Structure 1
């Protein structure tokens, strides 16, 4: 059983040595992930884990990769994408140039879903999608844009439910057991490392998506990240969160208005 004070000491040491700040991640989630990592590497105590992590950078890189990977899929929660089409993209179309930030982009499924949405609405050519994550391995997978063909049936179904206007197979090339995302969907995407816990705003955006990331943070860090998004949005910019997330306990709650309460889409009001 992982001791809470030992866990705090380990996370502080990681922050001091590597600059990665996991101290405000939800404790139960952190314990669960560390326990899984330890079992997978035949490590029995937190002290043993700390000893290896703090002296072996390659091992620490593996730890970060496993610690931060989240489950994702293309057009996950199709109703959310329907709402984006209906309530957001028409307003984005009024801008001469559109900047979108996908924070915590993981392996890129959401990035390419948004790119497809923009393409179908005639907006991709004047858009830039900034796709960021803390996990370098996940970011590389996102850049590659290669997904298992076994997933395509489910992704196709999601796409159709999300109101897709074309054939989903138009957006990838099937090769052996893999699907390679069409190059046109990558041209306007910038992939970059960004740590929501410690890094600052780097641009002004019309739309920020951060879905199913805040659930892994404690309330203090959630509030800090919402403030970061507020600072990063242009006036009347849009913020999209995951369906289990909200602005309820954020001190910026009154600075946003609901666009779609059910799908957690907000507009920066002041």
Structure 2
């Protein structure tokens, strides 16, 4: 049984005086525990809607999302632990790095000793333990994103959702953080869904790439990335996969990239 299964997932939204807006049209995929799945698709294809359903913030019209044997809905969301790393770090500027990471742990009503232990553990994991008493605006954009990742990991989630977390960074910083992200993923063994518009990023990071179509979204391509980690971004095998996926994307888009 897959750790995460998306089965026949459909989502439509009612519209006054018009037919419902169909956003997702029968998505299916299975993800093994500890995998890193990247989701690619054109702008406006429904990736945010998909993440909201996986995160239990909205219900599907039809179909299901099952995580660790639990069907995830708005009613069962509290039965699983899902964290999200967003495009922007979304840190509280008036709180220190340590306080930002500890915030969700306080909301879980953990004991103070466990909060301190987890906060120190995950700041060390992302290489920021020496910056625990800094404020977010004293850090670079890449460092802020690492704080956000530490905060997401500190709740020790069943599933981590990463929603274009490196897209606001310059390419040099993003490339370095991708390598750090793979290291952290390997050390924690977490199951990750990574949404991106960057084909090279998806190929470098993932154990599997899922490409979805324009709205109403369906699966266009599901491809295993059978290149061992740790990977070299300039590996010829990765370049060949990137070229193949780019061709598939152009074919799906009718010859033009959105």
TM superposition score normalised by structure 2: 0.32
Higher relative contact order (CA 8 A, sep 6+): 2
Instruction: Give the number of the structure whose residues are more often strand, by fraction.
Output: 2
Structure with the higher helix share, 1 or 2:
1
Q: Provide TM-score, normalisation by structure 1.
A: 0.31
